Structure 1
Amino acid sequence: MRAGNVKRGVVGLVAGVVFAGLTTFSGASAETGGCGLVGTVGTPEIGVDDTNAGLETLPAAEIALPEQIYFRTSTESFNRRWSFAARDGRIYVKEAAAQGGWRSLPLPGCMEGRIAGVSADDDEVMAIDRDGWFFTMDHALSAPKDWNWSTRYGTPLWTGAGNTLPAGTLDWTWSVLSPNEDHVWRDTAGNDHPVGGAKVSHVFALVDGGCRIAYVDPWLPVDHSYELATPANGRFRAVKLSTSASTTLVVNRFGDLYTRLYDFDISGADKVFFRYSYEDQRGLREAPDMLSERVDSGTAAIQLPAPDWVRQPKVPGEITDRISVHKTGIGSDARELRIEGESGGRTGYWVKQLTDAAWRFVATDQPLAGTRLENTAADHSIDESIQPSPYSYAGRSAAGWTATVANFDISNTPTTLRVDVGNGERLDLILHMVDGLRQLPQQRGIGTQARRFDGTVEVPGDILGSLATQPDSIRQFVTSTLGGRRFTDTAVDVTVREFRIDGLSVTLGRS
């Protein structure tokens, strides 16, 4: 979660609390060894030291480690300046551009000997202990003397008592989209939007057998309720994922590859700090900063719906499931994709820039570390063993029309809202739903606890454009119930038993 100047003042208040002490805070918990590390993560940046000050004080590594790190995985990772590796409960570090030169990173006592994974992006590093607890290191683009750890995670304002990986996580990664490194990102209308004064930091975790991705934002409640579906409407079973600057790369066992630009703010959920619209934003003036974009209606709003999955070309050779994405410059297209593999009898990795049409091979002659994939020429994006969602709803309004929502899935949007308007006529509306901003924990998925979405009912353009020639019942419904508008905003509440659409004054029961 991020914001611009509006949020900077709030972050400053948090900084006052955080900088009051760098050892303990009230959120210390037994689960994290009682360490309660405060750290500086989530507070305003205070400058970057481009030297290596402090590196010389770190002891040399006494174990064998790779000369170079080529992939951002859950146990080896890198940013623009440093490479990190997790081994035997510890973390090791070296200069990213150097061949070798690994040093052991001293850790707080509650972390020492417990670390199971590490992932770096931008100026933050996420470590996971053997029980799945999060430990975040700040100033990771600065000199080692500035590095510090925090167990804070969750509401309010990244001061919560900590969080963990979701149960059943198959793979995970840390992602940071920042104003200092990325500057802007691009929506589906082709407009660039400033990242703002703070950053977007998420853990992305591959769950539910590889067909869901949970994203865990440190500014949001301590739960695992926010998620997105994998490609093919969640019927893609990924075996690995990698995310950098909110761009996620996934692969299945057949070598099918997809990328997606997506996070909490890009999804359309953060209406407190951002201005979104389903209306066409193409050709509108881009705002110079976040505050201007929020208050100046003459500038382009963030186009919804959010960017979808993009199918990447098949790799023309042998590959493994060792995949990686990292940022290479300014803007959301500045991403490099890497896939471990071999070509012509040599090992290495296949590489391409995000928007390139073809892969090229870079030889490293290092042993392959990943699991080989079939990499078939045919498209196996849809896994037939993944069944559609069992949540379908139907109901009648006070006005007499009926509506149905079939196979509703919280992580798939839009969904079809089918309305029987009378006289045997049906109208298929598009129901966009965004999992909105909340500060209290929410149970995962659909259950007895009401789950509120920011909804928008869309009349298909061809229907609205030909309204005068449509049957009377359809024309009457669009003009009276929807006011003749293409887009109608509405709150939507969903439980295991009912589906309530406030803007249409209708409640559908589980069917």
Structure 2
Amino acid sequence: MRRGALIAAAGLVLAGVTTQSASIADPGCLPVGTVGTPEVTVDESTAGLSDFAPATVALPEQVYFRTTTESFNRRWTFATRDGNVYVKEAAAQGSWRTVALPGCLAGTIAGVSADDDEVMLIDRDGRFITMDRALSAPKDWNWSSRYGTPLWTGPGNTLPPGALTWSWSVLSPDEDHVWTDTAGNEHPVGGAKVSHVFALTHGGQRIQYVDPWLPVDHSYEMGLPFGGRFQAVALSTSASTSLIVNRFGDFYTRLYDFDISGADKVFFRYSYQDQRGLPEAPDMLSERIDSRYAAIQLPAPDWVAQPKVPGEITDRISIHRTGPGSAARELRVEGRDGGRTGFWRKTLTENAWTFVTTDQPLAGAALENSPVNRAEETLSPPSPYDYQGVSPQGWTASVQSFDLAVSPTPLRIEFGDGTELDVVLHTVDGLRQTPQQPGITDQPRFFDGTIEVPQQLLAELDTQPATVRNFVRNTLGGNRFTDTSVDVTDARLHIAVWEITLNRR
């Protein structure tokens, strides 16, 4: 969650706070530090690195992939072995040193993922530990086991159960500056950063993300391609851009996080109305309060299919930022070409992959990598949540295969004379400060909703049956977009603006 100017003040307050008692993610010895605040000053030296003992375990000369055991940002490369963490300068060959962990962490670390100026560590119990100021000198690094509301001071959190893999993602004003929405407009990242753990769960059928400013739960998700039915075998995320692949070597990328999704209405202004051609705001405050500037275009960016790799590949994939802006990303996938091992690489927008030879042994599991896209052959079953209900006015509304992470959803209106109207229900899993159960359960789940009438139908409204014309003009006010709250359980779906409850079928 991107924090605006508020976080700077919060960081000053929290700098002197220490952890007093154990929690789900608190080993009991870590200060809160100033985790999550932007780096006002950065020490470009290596001060403190020589204080770390030389590594005594076998580690690669160079790390080419951001995985859960080896990772990098533009300054440092990290690795974990046997519960410990090791570091070297990213541009240097070898020269690994053993990071001096707080005593309670020594020998407990099972995973590491670096992005921007933060490093996420996960211990053997799945607990999150964050190291901040990771673009500065090692003497400046600090640690925190805190995670969750309020303001990254919550009791801590853990990796979602059953995660196949995970990745730490940070989007920041210092490194990224701006990001681009679906209208092509650039937006300032804001006064701070947006940080998530993205986890591939449920056998590759779901992506859950865990933000340190949101409640201590595992309730937020990013929908997969093909209406959430794509089955991924690997995931990597950097600067809010995710890269996934299935067992046939079909790659997709998506720019998405909590704020980009449309959920953070406290700090940002969003709109489904076309924002193309409107001037871009000079700063975050102007964008939020001045309607002369472009709002953030909704819906959020969708998944983009990437070209097929022209050679052998494994499921060892990686994405990392290469500079400011949403297009500055490099994709990598381990593989082989002409009998030599290495990795295939491309930028986010290039149309073809090129091969880089490393002659390192392949570490990932081989993928079939068919020459054509076969994603539809591996789709999971549709969501089982179908709802239907009758309005007080007598018309019937129905929704099929509702998925909390997928938007938009087709919404059909049926009238007594047999005519039908197909509209679209957009849903955004909004900001909350109390825990929510994962998935759709008997606990009501509240969404920011918007009903959209197709533009072509509006343009041809006079040619539509009378019941459709009257409904659009009277019930929807002739508007293309109508905002509404939507709450859902495993038994019903309620659309507030129409005062209609759809029951599970």
User: TM-score when scaled to structure 2?
Assistant: 0.98
Output the amino acid matched with 1:2. Answer: R
1:34-433 paired onto structure 2 within 5 Å: 34-384=28-378, 386-433=380-427
CA distance change for structure 1 residues 210 and 33 in 2, over 3 Å: closer, same or farther? same
Structure 2 SS opposite 1:16: helix
CA distance change for structure 1 residues 330 and 13 in 2, over 3 Å: closer, same or farther? closer
Aligned counterpart, 1:510: 504
Cα contact 1:319–1:342 (8 A) shared by 2: yes
Deviations 1:74-113 (CA, angstroms, capped at 9, x unpaired) = 1100000000001000000000000000000011122110
Output the amino acid matched with 1:325. Answer: I
For residues 7 and 245 of structure 2, the distance between their equivalents in structure 1, rounded to whole angstroms, comes to 37
State the 1:31 CA deviation: 5.2
Aligned counterpart, 1:14: 10
For residues 197 and 45 of structure 1, the distance between their equivalents in structure 2, rounded to whole angstroms, comes to 11
Output the amino acid matched with 2:164. Answer: L
Deviations 1:280-304 (CA, angstroms, capped at 9, x unpaired) = 0011100011001001101000000
Cα contact 1:28–1:37 (8 A) shared by 2: no
CA distance change for structure 1 residues 274 and 116 in 2, over 3 Å: closer, same or farther? same
The unaligned stretches of length 5 or more in structure 2 are: none
State the 1:26 CA deviation: 4.0
Deviations 1:366-410 (CA, angstroms, capped at 9, x unpaired) = 111111111011322124561111111111011111100111110
Structure 2 SS opposite 1:337: strand
Output the amino acid matched with 2:110. Answer: A
Output the amino acid matched with 2:441. Answer: G
For residues 215 and 67 of structure 1, the distance between their equivalents in structure 2, rounded to whole angstroms, comes to 32
Cα contact 2:25–2:145 (8 A) shared by 1: no
Structure 1 SS opposite 2:470: helix
| 413-422 or 323-332, which deviates more | 413-422
Equivalent residues, number: 505
Output the amino acid matched with 1:150. Answer: S
Moved beyond 3 Å, runs of 4+: none
Aligned counterpart, 2:437: 443
Output the amino acid matched with 2:43. Answer: D
CA RMSD of aligned residues (A): 1.1
Structure 1 SS opposite 2:54: coil
| 45-54 or 238-247, which deviates more | 45-54
State the 1:345 CA deviation: 1.2
Deviations 1:161-180 (CA, angstroms, capped at 9, x unpaired) = 10000000000000000000
State the 1:30 CA deviation: 6.4
For residues 11 and 201 of structure 1, the distance between their equivalents in structure 2, rounded to whole angstroms, comes to 13
Structure 2 SS opposite 1:50: coil
Deviations 1:406-427 (CA, angstroms, capped at 9, x unpaired) = 1111011000110013311000
For residues 27 and 221 of structure 1, the distance between their equivalents in structure 2, rounded to whole angstroms, comes to 19
The unaligned stretches of length 5 or more in structure 1 are: none
Output the amino acid matched with 2:133. Answer: H
State the 1:28 CA deviation: 3.4
Deviations 1:190-227 (CA, angstroms, capped at 9, x unpaired) = 00000011101000000011011001000000000000
For residues 502 and 143 of structure 1, the distance between their equivalents in structure 2, rounded to whole angstroms, comes to 53
For residues 99 and 12 of structure 1, the distance between their equivalents in structure 2, rounded to whole angstroms, comes to 37
Output the amino acid matched with 2:465. Answer: P
For residues 34 and 132 of structure 2, the distance between their equivalents in structure 1, rounded to whole angstroms, comes to 6
Deviations 1:25-63 (CA, angstroms, capped at 9, x unpaired) = 246326533234312212343310000111111100001
| 356-365 or 415-424, which deviates more | 415-424
Cα contact 1:27–1:161 (8 A) shared by 2: no
Output the amino acid matched with 2:259. Answer: D
For residues 20 and 267 of structure 2, the distance between their equivalents in structure 1, rounded to whole angstroms, comes to 28
User: TM-score when scaled to structure 1?
Assistant: 0.97
For residues 31 and 369 of structure 2, the distance between their equivalents in structure 1, rounded to whole angstroms, comes to 44
Cα contact 1:15–1:44 (8 A) shared by 2: no
Output the amino acid matched with 1:110. Answer: C
| 26-35 or 310-319, which deviates more | 26-35
Output the amino acid matched with 1:356. Answer: E
Q: Does 1:479 align with 2:473?
A: yes
For residues 30 and 406 of structure 1, the distance between their equivalents in structure 2, rounded to whole angstroms, comes to 38
Q: Does 1:489 align with 2:489?
A: no
For residues 190 and 203 of structure 1, the distance between their equivalents in structure 2, rounded to whole angstroms, comes to 27
For residues 385 and 359 of structure 1, the distance between their equivalents in structure 2, rounded to whole angstroms, comes to 26
Output the amino acid matched with 2:342. Answer: G
Cα contact 1:421–1:477 (8 A) shared by 2: no
Structure 1 SS opposite 2:318: strand
Q: Which of 445, 448, 457 is 2:451 aligned to?
A: 457
Structure 2 SS opposite 1:232: helix
CA distance change for structure 1 residues 235 and 382 in 2, over 3 Å: closer, same or farther? farther
Structure 1 SS opposite 2:157: coil
Aligned counterpart, 2:2: 2
For residues 384 and 356 of structure 1, the distance between their equivalents in structure 2, rounded to whole angstroms, comes to 26
For residues 32 and 439 of structure 2, the distance between their equivalents in structure 1, rounded to whole angstroms, comes to 31
Output the amino acid matched with 1:56. Answer: S
Aligned counterpart, 1:469: 463
CA distance change for structure 1 residues 305 and 110 in 2, over 3 Å: closer, same or farther? same
